[in-house]
A = this chain, B = another copy of it.
Amino acid sequence: MPAGIGIKVPWSGTDEKGLGMKYDSILLEHGGGGLLSHNLVVEKFLPLFKNQFLEQLGDGAVFDVSGARLCFSTDSYVVNPVFFPGGDIGSLAVHGTVNDLAMCGGRPLFLSAGFILEEGFPMADLEKIITSMGQAAGQARVAIVTGDTKVVARGAADGIFINTAGIGLIEYAGAIGVGSIQAGDVVVLSGTLGDHGAAIMSRREGLGLSTPLISDSAPLNGLVEEILKASAHIHCMRDATRGGLGAILVEIAQQAGFTIEIQEQSIPVREEVKGVCEILGLDPLFLANEGKMVAFCPSDQADTVLSAMRSHPYGKDATVIGTVKPAQGKGRLIMHTLIGGSREVDMPTGELVPRIC
């Protein structure tokens, strides 16, 4: 398996492999890579921060405050390069948290922004990034309402890191989460895989492509609104960020205790992305996306959900890619391949691509 770009580690999950944490120091794989990231969270963070909310399965925490059902999520952004085709660290920092809130079924309302700047960072670049954040927030209809700026000496950080946290309001009646997934559900994917990861990697590696690759970084809350309006039976949603579709589906299968079967032939991948993957030895299944999601719903809702997705610009290539089946033993992800076989897809453990988001 060429590239474990790393899972978007929700702070939840099960140590399905039972591998102990045997590392004396942090490795790059602890941040971006599938299994090591997963274990770091499960073995170190969860026991010490133990609470019912953290153990929810999802992209954020869901709780009630004075009768309002809220979701709350955070991500730090360390993407390298800071500017890439289709976006920059600023727009990415808005889209990422907006999308995590949307995946909880929440309408994103408010964001915080925390900047860590390296002494000497060009002011013009900072202005471009803030401008981009403001525009991204406007497009996603969220307000950046509070923030913080720290500066560290040259060499103590790499240019700029941004953290965003966000609050969303959940008005959807159904329970959205891994626990709601049922046997018979279909898996609907909103579009092509790997655009963000391939765009970052081709820029980082200096590939001179005839067709430039563009990151798919986008706010998915509008798309999610359409989906939730169309169907009262959405069981689970997840955006396929770090680690790509492969890692999130493995994780969901394990957490839900079901077998997820997907058809390789039904997964849309742009030719340019395939090309970059061939050159760099990457697998689109594990490449990061920043504007793609999957939704789980009963099969009789598939057409409704597909139509809703396709009616939105960010879901125009939506397609059903798989189904949920009872597990024989543990939950797992099975891919029926193009050449007619089928194989179990594991959480990526190999080398990884750091700073993809």
The answer to whether the Cβ of A31 comes within 8 Å of any Cβ in the partner chain is yes
Question: Is the Cβ of A127 less than 8 Å from the Cβ of B157?
Answer: no
Question: Is the Cβ of A66 less than 8 Å from the Cβ of B63?
Answer: no
User: In whole Å, how far is A51's beta carbon from the nearest beta carbon of chain B?
Assistant: 4
List, in ascending order, chain B residues with CB within 8 A of A156's CB: 78, 157-158, 355
| Bound Cα distance A332, B113 (Å) | 30
List, in ascending order, chain B residues with CB within 8 A of A63's CB: 109-110, 145
Question: Which of A26, A72, A137 has the most CB atoms of chain B within a 10 A radius of its CB?
Answer: A26
List, in ascending order, chain B residues with CB within 8 A of A230's CB: none
List, in ascending order, chain B residues with CB within 8 A of A263's CB: none
CB-CB nearest in chain B for A142 = B51
**Which residues 97-140 of A sit at the B interface, judged by CB distance below 8 A?**
109-110, 112-124, 126-127, 130-131, 133-134, 137
The answer to whether the Cβ of A41 comes within 8 Å of any Cβ in the partner chain is yes
List, in ascending order, chain B residues with CB within 8 A of A115's CB: 76
The answer to whether the Cβ of A285 comes within 8 Å of any Cβ in the partner chain is no
With A72-B112, A110-B53, A114-B75 as given contacts, are A24 and B122 in contact (CB-CB < 8 Å)? yes
User: In whole Å, how far is A134's beta carbon from the nearest beta carbon of chain B?
Assistant: 4
Question: Is the Cβ of A169 less than 8 Å from the Cβ of B66?
Answer: yes
List, in ascending order, chain B residues with CB within 8 A of A150's CB: 31-32, 76-78, 355
Question: Which of A60, A124, A143 has the most CB atoms of chain B within a 10 A radius of its CB?
Answer: A143
Binds B, one of A160-168, A173-181, A182-190, A201-209: A160-168
List, in ascending order, chain B residues with CB within 8 A of A146's CB: 11, 53-54, 60-61, 72-74
With A31-B117, A37-B149 as given contacts, are A134 and B74 in contact (CB-CB < 8 Å)? no
The answer to whether the Cβ of A68 comes within 8 Å of any Cβ in the partner chain is yes
With A44-B130, A151-B30, A158-B156 as given contacts, are A163 and B114 in contact (CB-CB < 8 Å)? yes
With A76-B148, A126-B44, A146-B60 as given contacts, are A65 and B117 in contact (CB-CB < 8 Å)? no
List, in ascending order, chain B residues with CB within 8 A of A53's CB: 110, 143, 145-146
The answer to whether the Cβ of A1 comes within 8 Å of any Cβ in the partner chain is no
List, in ascending order, chain B residues with CB within 8 A of A75's CB: 114, 148
The answer to whether the Cβ of A339 comes within 8 Å of any Cβ in the partner chain is no
With A48-B133, A169-B65 as given contacts, are A28 and B153 in contact (CB-CB < 8 Å)? yes
Q: Taking A26-B118, A66-B68, A76-B163 as given, write out 18 further A-B residue pairs in contact, using a Cβ cutoff of 8 Å, ordered by the A residue number.
A: A9-B148, A23-B123, A26-B121, A26-B151, A44-B127, A49-B134, A54-B145, A61-B112, A65-B68, A67-B68, A72-B110, A72-B146, A73-B112, A78-B152, A112-B165, A150-B355, A151-B354, A153-B354
Q: Which residues of A contact B (CB under 8 A)?
A: 9, 11, 21, 23-32, 37, 40-41, 44-45, 48-51, 53-54, 60-61, 63, 65-68, 70, 72-78, 109-110, 112-124, 126-127, 130-131, 133-134, 137, 143-153, 155-158, 161, 163, 165, 167, 169, 354-355
